[in-house]
Amino acid sequence: MEIKVLGQGCVQCDRLERELMEVMAEIDLAADLEHVREIKEIGKYGVMGMPALLINGKVMSVGRVPPKAKLKEWLKEAQG
């Protein structure tokens, strides 16, 4: 599984990354978590707000930090 946080390092971007790591630990999920901070790289994904969350290449949220329960739900669904 590939998880990406898109954001240049704003408080919300860092919070999303931290909460994802917490949820991954809670559900014992080993996945690649990458925080993409380079604006040119972020632009390739076509998102207009930050932070953005992608799971396996699919945009799951833009411009907000979803509740931990929602993050857990999405990760479990992607896990299969």
pLDDT at 80: 83
DSSP β-bridge partners for residue 3: 33, 55
C-alpha angle 20-73-66 in degrees, rounded to nearest 5: 55
- Over the stretch 4-56, which tens digit does the pLDDT of each residue have? 999 998 999 999 999 999 999 999 999 999 999 999 999 999 999 999 999 99
- What are the tokens at 47? 């998102």
Identity of the residue numbered 5:
V
Is 19:68 a contact under the CB 8 Å cutoff?
yes
Q: What secondary structure letter does DSSP report for 37?
A: -
CATH architecture assignment, domain 2-79: 3-Layer(aba) Sandwich (3.40)
